Structure formats: C-alpha cells, structure tokens
Amino acid sequence: MREKLAGVPFSITSYLFGGSCFLCRGAARALLCTHCDADLPRLERALCPRCALESPGGALCGRCLTHSPAYDATHAALAYDFPADALVHALKFRGELALAPLLAGFLAPKVRAAAVDHVVAVPLSAERLRTRGYNQAVEIARHLRRDALELALCERTRDAPPQIELPYGERQRNVRGAFRCTRSLEGARIAVVDDVMTTGATLEEVARTLKQAGAAHVENWVVARTPLHA
C-alpha cells in the first residue's frame, strides 16, 4: 500500500512532463532532476528576519532599523535568480500550475511552525484575475497551511500598472490604498503569501492595510526574494 501511494506523484509528473526535468528536459523522477534541484539558489545564509535580505549574523538590517516596515517578519526560500526565476515565471505567466506545489514545498519547512491565525495570498485585481485565470500567490498558498487559508480576508480595490513596469522609487506610491480588508482583524496574526518579493512595496502596503484592520502581527511568506539592486 505504501509503495503504491509513493508511486502516485511519479505517475502524475510522468504524465505531465513525460518523466523529464521541467528545466533541462533531462531524465527526472520528479518535476526537477537532481542536478537542477541542487542548482536552485536556496537562501540558507544569514538573513534579516524582517525583510529576508542578507544580513551578517542574521541581525536586523540597517534598512529595517532606519525605516521600520509594516510587516514584522519575512520568510523566503529562494533567491530570485536563475533557475528559480524561470520556475516562478512559468507559474505566473505560462499557467504551469503543477509548479505551485513544488515552489510551496521549498517554503514549507520555513513556515511550518509559524504561529499564525490566518494565511492570505496577495490578491490580484478582479480584472487581472480574469485575464490570467488564476492567482499564482493563491496557488502557492493552497499548499501551505491549508487549515489557516482565508482567501477572502483581503481584496485588491483597484488595478495599478504592474510593479515591474515602474522604477523602484514609484512602486510604493503605485500600490498605496490598493488593498482593503473585508473584516476586523483585531489581534490576529497573519501570514501573507506571494511568489516574489522585490522592493517589498506591495507586501508593505498589504501589511499596512492588515495592521489598520487591527492585525497584531504580519509576516511575509515568499517563494523568492530579489536581492537589493545597488
């Protein structure tokens, strides 16, 4: 029985990917071959607990000390670098939804023990959701602490130009007031899931909105973290 169950994921991935690695198309018994899996830029070095950028000894970084973010912590699994960026991109823009459990799996060990009441995903606007057909953050969140998942807790009130099209300095202004909580969150501890954290402007605005609704603690759970550009 146990062997049969263990064989299920392999048969599904073989069916979807023909037993070849999603990245290099070499032979693989899972979505990624062992080489590509080993090549992933896992974030294992000391990170700032607040923003997940590299920080000596894992201390609170200078940026967070001088400009305290609205969120209290960030957990990130991978650096947003090749080949992690290719996986995130394929999930986000090419509808490769089978990558969601894989990407969530890298993050799961870091958030398993987190003391949170609710898990939300960064919402897309209704319009963007219609065009894309799914929200990649939701797809990832489904595989993390399903028991605490509350998708309707936070909404996107308006569409803004995609952050990627804007200079870093304008991203915070672009998302200002873009989210709304659907109920009071007095004293709640919330985790916010997203695929990538770049400047953190979107997550900052989500955290600010959640705190305004009474949340006591907000932490980000992101698959990939972009290192700061000089």
Residues of this chain that interact with Zn ion (CB under 5 A) are 21, 23-24, 26, 33, 36, 48, 50-51, 61, 64
State in angstroms the smallest separation of the CB of 172 from Zn ion: 16
Element (H, E) at 196: strand 189-197
CB 172 within 8 A of CB 201: yes
Beta bridge partners of 61: none
Distance from the Cα of residue 230 to its chain's centroid:
23
- Residue 93's CB is within 10 A of a number of other CB atoms, namely 10
Residue type, 192: V
State in angstroms the smallest separation of the CB of 217 from Zn ion: 16
State in angstroms the smallest separation of the CB of 30 from Zn ion: 10
* DSSP SS3 for 120: strand
Q: Rounded to an integer, what distance in angstroms lies between the CA atom of residue 181 and that of residue 50?
A: 23
State in angstroms the smallest separation of the CB of 49 from Zn ion: 8
State in angstroms the smallest separation of the CB of 48 from Zn ion: 3
CB 175 within 8 A of CB 166: no
